[in-house]
Structure 1
Amino acid sequence: MLPVSVVAETTDAARALRAAGLEVHDDALSRAMYSSDASLYRVPPLAVVRPRSVEEVAATLRVARETGTPLTSRGAGTSVAGNAVGRGIVVDFSRHLGRVLDVDPEARTARVEPGTVHAVLQRAAAPHGVRFGPDPSTHPRCTIGGMIGNNACGARSLAYGRTDDNVTGLRLLLADGTEVVTGRDAEGRPTQSGADAVLDGPHGVRAVMGHHLGTARTELDRFGRQVSGYAAQHLLPERFDLTRALVGSEGTLAVVTEATVRLVTDPACRVVVVLGFADIVAAGHAAPAVVAHGPTSCEGLDSRLVDVLRERRGPAAVPPLPDGGAWLFVEIAGDDAVEVLDRAHALAGAGLGVDARVVDDPATAARLWRIREDGAGLAGRSPADLPAWPGWEDAAVPPDRLGDYLARFDELTASHGLSSAPYGHFGEGCLHVRLDLPLQHRDGAARLRAFLVDAARLVADFGGSLSGEHGDGRARSELLPHLYSADALAMFAGIKHAFDPDGLLNPGVLVDPDPVDADVRVVGVPPFRRQLAMAYPHDDGDLAQAVHRCTGVGKCRADPRPTGAAAGGVMCPSYLATREEKDSTRGRARVLQEVVRGELAWSDPAVHDALDLCLSCKGCASDCPTGIDLATYKSEALHQTYRRRLRPRSHYALGRLPLWARLVGRLRLAGLVNLLMGLPLVGRLMLAAAGVDRRRSVPRFARRPFRATFDPSGPGPEPVEGRRPVVLFVDSFSDAFDPEVAAATVRVLRAAGWEPFLPERDGDGAVCCGLTWITTGQLDAAKRILRRTVRTLAPAARDGVPIVGIEPSCTAVLRSDVHELVPGPDADLVSRSVRTLAELLAQTPGWRPPDLSGVELVAQPHCHHHAVLGWQADADLLATAGATVTRLSGCCGLAGNFGVEVGHHEVSVAVAEQQLLPAVDAAPEAVVLADGFSCRTQLADLRGRPSRHLAQLLDAADPQG
């Protein structure tokens, strides 16, 4: 808990901010969420303000001055150096100040608010044939204000330069409340107004620079990626440009309220050349020769990073790469396709590596770039399968020295007992890396400091920069004396004092820095293994390690990707509906990190507020490059909170639905229950008793469950009429509510040469995966159910009989959750034996899908199908069949019990409106393919639109079906 003095200070600051009419958040949940960014550091703020206008920003700054409270500006919180956390007021510009104010295609400029997401600006500019040049890997969620703060660059800076090359004017508020406007005159010369008090006078910027002219001219701007410190070279009298000087100042000199940025035209043709090298050092040595070919991008990637991706998502996640242990992804671009291809083949044939491949297919190129974009998250697990951390994230050296630096860097990491998977902007000498620093150990902070000091000295030896694009922040500011002279540091201090004499803006960064080993988030956090229900096998059974997988890269805040070939993931559907940080995967992880620290109890309202709108879709388990799994953590939190306590009524009704469904079927009460649910008053009372929103309809029970009607061709798992046996895992939804799907599955399997049989358990004859118990956190019961099911399925699996599932979410339990709840050899065996229908058919010799030429499909893959099972087998099957498929990548919004529970209806509908509803509305004649019972129910409920399972599609199309 916070000391009493801090609590009192929090209350005083919040009271003053509220009195100014501001949107203030100083509750435990908000302070936990904003305590960290994408860095190592945890600094809980006193309060978070989300301004709606420039006037509210000014009011916040006024309160900060009057109360002596520090102020830190924050965009999307993707800063990896701790630039966006602070002990005072954190101002979140991303919530309300994210508009594109104007796009001028003639002048090729745009005016934006600081919270404008990079991708939003690109969408606004695209209709005019222009775009903002810099494109960091976080472009789907990072803000322009954040890019200005750090002087971000991105993969194509060889063509477009850094952010300071692309900002033509700023509106800012100084710490004393003065508004400063910078820009360009008609001749393109830099201008500024309102800055006289800062620039002139005995302690003004011009006087400061007059004392350090030689230093500014010789120590700064030595190569393109020298970003560390202030850009004081732009304050020299011969090149004075206040706009460019303020870009990269990390919010320590002024608060940006508006920016005018330069736009560029995109080349008509882009081709990727992938060059393979023996190792990353060889790739670094070759980078300058590659740049001589005039590429727009030259990105380096080590095999250690690619191996992590293959292990996590399977071999198919990585397109075929040339031979080698490291690669350069090189983009050649231009307006003449023939000329671009000629240049690409010339580069591929230049003999710069051991192998080369020219990629001119846009879809394959997009997959390659996605590997690079996910680098920060993928590198969150080291080659030694240990947690890997930022901290030494983006050092840069002159490009012609990169190869030698990489060799020395590998020696340095080895000497500290560390491993890494490097990648980066090799064309400009910038290296990104995450390191498996032993921060959880008692001496973790000391070992972090020792490595950072040695790494800073190494970069200085190579004439490099501690930061190549992310800024120095808390991670490197203390190390600047290793890079710059005392005179340079005095110059930086003088600039800071001229702009912010009271040190109000983002203190602890750049000038008078905090120690690099202070406030490190995971230092001192012990393992959390006591009385856990889940096994966390990928995190050594440690929940603390599991929740700290979230490094804050913020991919969960990204806008949804387009449908079709470029379709991405489903994460994070609730954030897309609410745009609230607490509803993002990252926000939830931050709160759970407070739990494992002992700062919050499982039952704390902040924990349940953060987890309430988690749909347990498991999208994060596959889409978050760090591999975090909030669905599992939510189940654990519900289990810990309600174990041996009274639960919400929906847990008893919906969480135990298979039990009630089996009872209805056994007693043949389907007709009566359906009748009662159809009576207005009785139906409403039953919904209320079950914790179901009254606006929801309840699926009708089938007259007879599937299991009661199944007619096996044989007695059990033996070949029948030449057909091979397959276990048909009939879930409770297919059995009780949609038996036709199960029946269609049987017909398709038999037509393909398989003979399905139902696994039976002694006692009641039915097996269950326990999904509804899992999602409601009734994990003791879930374990008992799943343990019996594994015991029942294991003999067939041991005999090599495959197990095919019908409902994706239940199939996913047998593929994945089984390891968390009932780990062991039998669970492993069952998991390996589980197949989706498409996977089984793909492995069936001689089977060919029916002809679906001319069939237009809108495919809604179930979230668990996408995240756990993988939908590629389905996509391949449909492509072979000739169907025209529009594949959606978003969640349907129902997600089992989530969407029907009281309090979730609006969010459930809002999630459906992201992709599902617009897609089906736009294709009224298309067949909607939805294997998930929840997806079919949601569509029927919100649109009255029928949809079909893959088995029904194949069965109907089969002339023998």
Structure 2
Amino acid sequence: MTPEELAGELRAAGITEVDSSTRRRAEYSSDASNYRVVPQVVVFPRSADEVAATLQVAAANGAPITARGAGTSCAGNAVGPGVILDFSRHLNQVVAIDPDARTAVVQPGVVLATLQQQAARHGLRFGPDPSTQSRCTIGGMIGNNACGAHALAYGKTADNIASLQVLLADGRPLHAGLLAELADPVGARLSRLVADNLAVIRTEFARFSRQASGYSLEHLLPERGANLARFLAGTEGTLAVLTEATVNLVQAAPFTALAVLAYPDMAVAAEAVPALLPLQPLALEGMDRRLVEVLIRRRGPGAAPNLPKGGGWLFVETGGQSQAEANAAAQAFVDQAHAQDSTVVFGEDARRLWRIREDGAGLAGRTPSNEPAWPGWEDAAVPPDKLGGYLRDFNALLADHRLDGLIYGHLGDGCVHVRLDLPLAGRPADVRRFLLEAARLVASYGGSMSGEHGDGRARSELLPAMYSPEAIALFGAVKHIFDPADQLNPGVLVNPAPVDVDLRLPQARPLTTGLGFSYPHDSGSFTTAVHRCVGVGKCRADTTGTGGVMCPSYLATGDETHSTRGRARVLQELANGSVITGGWQSPEVEQALDLCLSCKGCSSDCPAGVDMATYKAEALYQRYRGKLRPMSHYALGWLPRWTRIATSSRAMAAVANGSLKPKPLARLAKRLGGIDDRRPLPQFAPVSFRRWFADHPAAQGDPVMLWLDTFTNGFSPEVGIAAVTVLEDAGFSVRIPEAAVCCGLTWISTGQLDGARKQLTRSLDALAPALAEGIPIVGLEPSCTAVFRSDASELLPTDERARQARTAVRTLAELLIERDWQPPALAGTIALAQPHCHQHAVMGFAADEKLLTRAGVELETVGGCCGLAGNFGVERGHYEVSVAVAETALLPAVRAAASTTAVLADGFSCRTQLEQLSDREGEHLAVLLARGLHVGEHDRFVSEREIS
């Protein structure tokens, strides 16, 4: 049966959302694992009845079923060849919370963070909390029996389940509570199976807390209450499909602290764990020093707080009824630990450390030598008292196989996370040999292949290394009772697929020639670059509350298509070539990238460093190379050319502005230029900054080159004038490039990379004297500044000046902080700042915060993207998403701000969006500082421009 035929039968059965398109199938071809299995159909059920109908149609047609939440499975538990049931879009509600009973009723697609937020109103929380809690779903957690850092105190997911509503493979409903209460024939057969195999279950299961591999048959023992609901946790969707869960909640500690204990290496840190467990920490995590080094190398020295000196750390969380009580409990661990160095932190410092830990899977996606590192053996566990010895032997095994990885994990439970530079593409047979040896090693320590992620396709074949033939046979017998036709997630746990089958990377073709960018961090390969995405799914999280940006279009639509991960999967399928067959010209590639804002937020917010803005520019370059382009690429991509003509004189600016004022002419211009009719056309400045600067008397001081971008020169010259005012007050003598040049930003964002290289080369020619003399160069438009700090050297890898520009070009705030300039006293000023996406991603906002704090400004920052994003929000077909993106964070924050609050937005696009969608105007940092200096010329110029 073809995907289209199966989709037709599902629609005929009354299922509302069924998608068998090639693009959708590509998006769901992988999860957060190394595996690629292309489904036939993706279903987004709206009710339990639709789930049941899907199961019935699938059973009638022999189509396998795989349930999926956020798709963050590291073991390949959430990919399958038949029907994918995505619960995250519609069945994602917290149905009820009973604070007295401390329970919650939830649908399977509810994100854990959503449950935590609602439970927190009652002083409660769900105990287990995987590092992916901002996007992982409760259904996925139940499927894997997820744990997280606080499982040490609160238990695994199975320990926190009251009852489940599930459907069997034929669509039959089942209420799973205590086994004795189950009326369905499944209950009687399962009870007999357990009774006949008590000795095997009692001796081989639940040997330690993180024995997560296989079916957790211990929950069916009579002395453990014969709890069917708890047993179903961790069965990885192979026995039943969840439609609703009642879970237990725990009381949250009102205050917490973190004891940070340093040791010479991770093995020594592991050996300290058993002595600390009797003090009953809330969490006890471990982290390799090299993981933090990777973070600092990628995001700068300010990315991590100061840590005690050592080669490995234990993070020990304690709780209390007051901060003093929590701190005292943390100090008790310091006193007991015999660490070589230690500290106690709380508040924001502790949260920053937890964020590093939560990003571990992505940060560990590159080894210290910058080789790609993969899951596959990422969560093995051993009893905590054997952890030190295991780590030493494991490191020796890695050395034997010439593998490397960064170790972290839940050391208090004996669970070790690591991603390894497995030779997936070149030597998959070597990968298999390593996994078999690693399985024997962990089994020799009485451990488990998986400590929390489940076995999936990555480890199910390895289960005989830790279980007897009798136990393995039991798994098959249980599967036959629940799913005799093997419809549910086949190839997982029972009758497993080989661990080296369906690997994604070996199937990808190398794309290394004729590229627009050089991809220096990915061995010059587009294929390697897009495979940075290993599917951890942080792009699906609402990061706007923490100052993040990624992924604005997903936050606006809630559709996997518009997540960074969804786009990366389509590009990976482009490299594969078997499903998406049209190469760069494929409509699926165009569809996947259409709503990417090129905000570059993923390049910093994605723990794996995916840079979808670059990949989109590359795809556009390849698609339209030597061909006629969309008109918006000429109208908006060549904007610097049109601006240069329009602002060549006051008269020309008046003609350009006047000719576009009549509505019919403006409407015609927009239609011809591919511009949405709802977007007002910006007005050119009557007097460009370059013309103003020609009459400006030179000041005495140290030379500084002001990079004159198109937007400042032609649309917002008051920003440039304000910057000159500030720089001269700081003791600089300002210069500008003699030639009217452009950084090439608009050419890059529209994929006109040959043109971008020409623009950049001319720009570097103009900057050459400053670069040669070591004169600092300051940029005012964040996106243009970011071009010199990132894109330039990737577009012109052999031009030494591009490399020099990476360090020579600074933001205004960075230069003033280096200068140790004392800004004007702005005490009493309240400012709401939206860091520009490119600044957030490439330069960071720390210098701006420091400068504003020094000035006495009370600052609040808002995350997310403005939604205009250069040409994106102006192009026809993007308006609704552009507005929706602005509504995720920026516009609500602006509406909530007092009328006297200054709204800081350095980006011309951000200020334009604010002006068009709200009653507030944004202003550049330079303008705020210049106004604080009470210099009249700036104010006079602004007034003159407004009159004009």
Q: TM-score, normalised by structure 1?
A: 0.95
Give the match for residue 759 of structure 1: 737
CA contact under 8 A between 1:712 and 1:756: conserved in structure 2? no
| Aligned partner of 1:397 among 382, 386, 401 | 382
C-alpha separation between the residues in 2 aligned to 1:827 and 1:341?
49
C-alpha separation between the residues in 1 aligned to 2:233 and 2:501?
26
- State the Cα deviation string for residues 97-143 of structure 1 (Å, max 9, x = none): 00111111111111010000101111222222211111100000000
| Aligned partner of 1:733 among 705, 711, 714 | 711
Give the match for residue 610 of structure 1: 592
Give the match for residue 913 of structure 2: 938
C-alpha separation between the residues in 2 aligned to 1:74 and 1:195?
28
Indicate yes or no: 2:568 matched with 1:589. yes
* 1:269 positional shift: 1.1
CA contact under 8 A between 1:398 and 1:428: conserved in structure 2? yes
| Aligned partner of 1:328 among 285, 306, 314 | 314
CA contact under 8 A between 1:205 and 1:494: conserved in structure 2? no
* 1:682 positional shift: 1.1
CA contact under 8 A between 2:602 and 2:612: conserved in structure 1? yes
Give the match for residue 516 of structure 2: 533
| Aligned partner of 2:487 among 504, 507, 516 | 504
Give the match for residue 87 of structure 2: 93
CA contact under 8 A between 2:508 and 2:572: conserved in structure 1? no
* 1:236 positional shift: 2.0
Matched residue of 1:434: which SS?
A: strand
**What letter is aligned with 2:370?**
D
Give the match for residue 46 of structure 1: 40
CA contact under 8 A between 1:271 and 1:340: conserved in structure 2? yes
CA contact under 8 A between 2:75 and 2:453: conserved in structure 1? yes
CA contact under 8 A between 1:118 and 1:139: conserved in structure 2? yes
C-alpha separation between the residues in 1 aligned to 2:704 and 2:245?
63
- State the Cα deviation string for residues 223-267 of structure 1 (Å, max 9, x = none): 000010001111223331101110110000000000001111111
Give the match for residue 834 of structure 1: 809
Matched residue of 1:858: which SS?
A: strand
Give the match for residue 213 of structure 1: 198
C-alpha separation between the residues in 1 aligned to 2:309 and 2:883?
48
Q: Bigger shift: 471-480 or 695-704?
A: 695-704
Counting only pairs closer than 5 Å after superposition, residues 326-405 of structure 1 correspond to structure 2 as 326-360=312-346, 362-405=347-390
**What letter is aligned with 1:258?**
E
Give the match for residue 3 of structure 1: none
* 1:344 positional shift: 1.5
Matched residue of 2:665: which SS?
A: helix
| Aligned partner of 2:261 among 262, 265, 275 | 275
Give the match for residue 746 of structure 2: 772
CA contact under 8 A between 1:179 and 1:194: conserved in structure 2? no
Aligned length: 928
Matched residue of 1:913: which SS?
A: helix
C-alpha separation between the residues in 1 aligned to 2:378 and 2:96?
34
C-alpha separation between the residues in 2 aligned to 1:353 and 1:561?
37
Q: Bigger shift: 250-259 or 17-26?
A: 17-26
Give the match for residue 685 of structure 1: 668
CA contact under 8 A between 2:294 and 2:363: conserved in structure 1? yes
Give the match for residue 750 of structure 1: 728
Indicate yes or no: 2:234 matched with 1:248. yes
| Aligned partner of 1:83 among 73, 77, 92 | 77
Matched residue of 2:419: which SS?
A: coil
| Aligned partner of 2:5 among 3, 12, 20 | 12
Give the match for residue 623 of structure 2: 641
* 1:568 positional shift: 3.1
Return structure 1 stretches of 4+ with deviation > 4 angstroms.
191-195, 712-715
CA contact under 8 A between 1:180 and 1:192: conserved in structure 2? no
* 1:960 positional shift: 4.5
* 1:603 positional shift: 1.3
- State the Cα deviation string for residues 261-289 of structure 1 (Å, max 9, x = none): 11111111100110011011111111112
* 1:689 positional shift: 1.1
**What letter is aligned with 2:927?**
Q
Q: Bigger shift: 156-165 or 122-131?
A: 122-131
| Aligned partner of 1:783 among 757, 766, 782 | 757
Matched residue of 1:80: which SS?
A: coil
C-alpha separation between the residues in 2 aligned to 1:41 and 1:584?
19
* 1:347 positional shift: 1.7
Indicate yes or no: 2:767 matched with 1:793. yes
Q: Are the structure 2 counterparts of residues 712 and 420 from structure 1 closer, same or farther at C-alpha, using a change threshold of 3 Å?
A: farther
Matched residue of 1:140: which SS?
A: coil
Counting only pairs closer than 5 Å after superposition, residues 620-659 of structure 1 correspond to structure 2 as 620-659=602-641
* 1:938 positional shift: 0.2
**What letter is aligned with 1:523?**
P
C-alpha separation between the residues in 1 aligned to 2:892 and 2:126?
28
**What letter is aligned with 2:222?**
P
Give the match for residue 644 of structure 2: 662
C-alpha separation between the residues in 2 aligned to 1:197 and 1:191?
11
C-alpha separation between the residues in 2 aligned to 1:467 and 1:428?
12
| Aligned partner of 2:533 among 509, 534, 550 | 550
Give the match for residue 884 of structure 1: 858
CA contact under 8 A between 2:384 and 2:411: conserved in structure 1? yes
Give the match for residue 187 of structure 1: none
5+ residue gaps, structure 1, are 1-7, 184-189
C-alpha separation between the residues in 1 aligned to 2:627 and 2:238?
50
CA contact under 8 A between 1:537 and 1:819: conserved in structure 2? no
Matched residue of 2:317: which SS?
A: strand
* 1:469 positional shift: 0.5
- State the Cα deviation string for residues 180-220 of structure 1 (Å, max 9, x = none): 1123xxxxxx36755531122xxx21222233211100000
Matched residue of 2:120: which SS?
A: helix
**What letter is aligned with 1:551?**
V
Give the match for residue 257 of structure 1: 243
- State the Cα deviation string for residues 288-322 of structure 1 (Å, max 9, x = none): 12222221001000012111101100111010000
C-alpha separation between the residues in 2 aligned to 1:91 and 1:788?
53
CA RMSD, aligned part only? 1.3
Matched residue of 1:292: which SS?
A: helix
| Aligned partner of 2:787 among 813, 816, 824 | 813
**What letter is aligned with 1:179?**
P
Matched residue of 1:328: which SS?
A: strand
* 1:352 positional shift: 2.2
CA contact under 8 A between 2:273 and 2:384: conserved in structure 1? yes
| Aligned partner of 1:695 among 657, 660, 678 | 678
CA contact under 8 A between 1:150 and 1:249: conserved in structure 2? yes
C-alpha separation between the residues in 1 aligned to 2:418 and 2:811?
37
CA contact under 8 A between 1:33 and 1:591: conserved in structure 2? yes
Counting only pairs closer than 5 Å after superposition, residues 136-535 of structure 1 correspond to structure 2 as 136-183=130-177, 190=178, 195-200=183-188, 204-239=189-224, 240-360=226-346, 362-441=347-426, 444-535=427-518
CA contact under 8 A between 2:180 and 2:187: conserved in structure 1? no
Matched residue of 2:262: which SS?
A: strand
Matched residue of 2:261: which SS?
A: strand
Matched residue of 1:433: which SS?
A: strand
C-alpha separation between the residues in 1 aligned to 2:34 and 2:523?
21
CA contact under 8 A between 1:700 and 1:737: conserved in structure 2? yes
Indicate yes or no: 2:89 matched with 1:110. no
C-alpha separation between the residues in 1 aligned to 2:507 and 2:77?
22
CA contact under 8 A between 2:276 and 2:336: conserved in structure 1? no
C-alpha separation between the residues in 2 aligned to 1:398 and 1:194?
34
Matched residue of 1:330: which SS?
A: strand
C-alpha separation between the residues in 2 aligned to 1:931 and 1:41?
43
Q: Percent of aligned pairs with the same residue? A: 57
Q: Are the structure 2 counterparts of residues 830 and 336 from structure 1 closer, same or farther at C-alpha, using a change threshold of 3 Å?
A: closer
- State the Cα deviation string for residues 905-940 of structure 1 (Å, max 9, x = none): 110000100111111101132110010000000000
Q: Bigger shift: 610-619 or 781-790?
A: 781-790
CA contact under 8 A between 1:396 and 1:430: conserved in structure 2? yes
**What letter is aligned with 1:596?**
A
5+ residue gaps, structure 2, are 937-948
